[in-house]
A and B are shown apart, each in its own frame.
Chain A
Amino acid sequence: MTAYTATVTVRLKRGVLDPEAETTQQALERLGFDLSDLRSADRFEVDLDAADADEAADRADEMAERLLANPTIHDYDVAVAER
Chain B
Amino acid sequence: MTVSVIQFGGSNCDRDAVRALDHLGVDAERVWHADGLPADTEGIVLPGGFSYGDYLRAGAMAARDPILNEVRAAADEGVPVIGVCNGAQIGSESGLTPGAFTTNASARFQCEPVRLRVERADTPWTAAYDAGDVIEVPIAHGEGRFEIDDDAHADLVADDRVLFRYCDADGNVTDAANPNGSTDNIAGVLGERETVAVLMPHPERATLPDLGRSTDGAGILEAFA
Contact = CB atoms under 8 A, between A and B. Distances in A.
Interface of A: 16-20, 22-23, 66-68, 70, 72-73
- Which residue, of A20, A23, A73, has the highest number of chain B Cβ atoms within 10 A? A73
A72 B107 contact: no
Contacts of B57: 70
Contacts of B152: 72
Interface of B: 56-57, 60, 64, 92-93, 98-100, 102-107, 145, 147-149, 152, 181
A17 B105 contact: yes
A19 B60 contact: no
A19 B144 CA distance: 12
Contacts of A17: 105, 145, 181
B99 A20 contact: no
Q: What's the dominant secondary structure at chain B's contact region?
A: loop
A72 B104 contact: no
Contact of B103 (A19, A66, A72): A19
Given A67-B56, A67-B60, A68-B56, A19 B104 contact: yes
Contact of B99 (A19, A22, A67, A72): A72
A73 B60 contact: no
Contacts of B92: 72
Given A70-B93, A70-B100, A16 B147 contact: yes
A41 B37 CA distance: 36
B185 to A, nearest CB: 15
